[in-house]
Structure 1
Amino acid sequence: MEVLKSKVYLVLLFCLTVFITSCNLGNQQVEVITSDEMEMLLLSDSVQLIDVRSFEDFQDKHLKGAQSIVFDADFEENILKLDKSKPVAVYCRTGRRSKECSQVLKEQGFSKIYELEGGLEKWEHDDLLILKSDEVNLEM
Structure 2
Amino acid sequence: MRILIVFLLLGTLISCESKSGSTLLTSKEMKELMALDSVQLIDVRSVESFREGHLKGAQNLVYDDEFVQKIQELDKNKPVAVYCRTGRRSEECSKILEDAGFKKIFQLKGGVTQWEFEDELVKDTLSQ
Normalised by the size of structure 1, how large is the TM-score? 0.71
Counterparts of 2:71 and 2:22, CA distance in 1? 16
Q: Please tell me the residue identity of whatever aligns with 2:49.
A: D
Counterparts of 1:29 and 1:48, CA distance in 2? 17
Q: Secondary structure at the match of 1:44?
A: coil
Q: Please tell me the residue identity of whatever aligns with 1:67.
A: Q
Q: Please tell me the residue identity of whatever aligns with 1:56.
A: E
What residue number does 1:21 align with?
none
Counterparts of 1:45 and 1:80, CA distance in 2? 20
**Superposition misfits of 4+ residues, deviation over 2 angstroms:** none
Counterparts of 2:39 and 2:69, CA distance in 1? 20
2:127 counterpart (123, 127, 130): 130
RMSD: 1.5
Q: Is 2:68 aligned against 1:71?
A: no
Q: Percent identity?
A: 54
Deviations 1:66-120 (A, max 9, x none): 0000000100000000000100000000001100000000000002000000000
Displacement after TM superposition at 1:28 (Å): 7.8
1:98 counterpart (85, 90, 95): 90
The answer for unaligned runs of 5 or more in structure 2 is 1-18
Aligned residues: 105
Name the structure where helix makes up a greater proportion of residues.
1
2:28 counterpart (8, 28, 36): 36
Q: Is 2:77 aligned against 1:85?
A: yes
Q: Please tell me the residue identity of whatever aligns with 2:57.
A: G
Normalised by the size of structure 2, how large is the TM-score? 0.78
Structure with bigger gyration radius: 1
Contact kept in structure 1, 2:20 and 2:94, CA below 8 Å: no
Displacement after TM superposition at 1:44 (Å): 2.3
The answer for unaligned runs of 5 or more in structure 1 is 1-26, 132-140
Counterparts of 1:95 and 1:45, CA distance in 2? 24
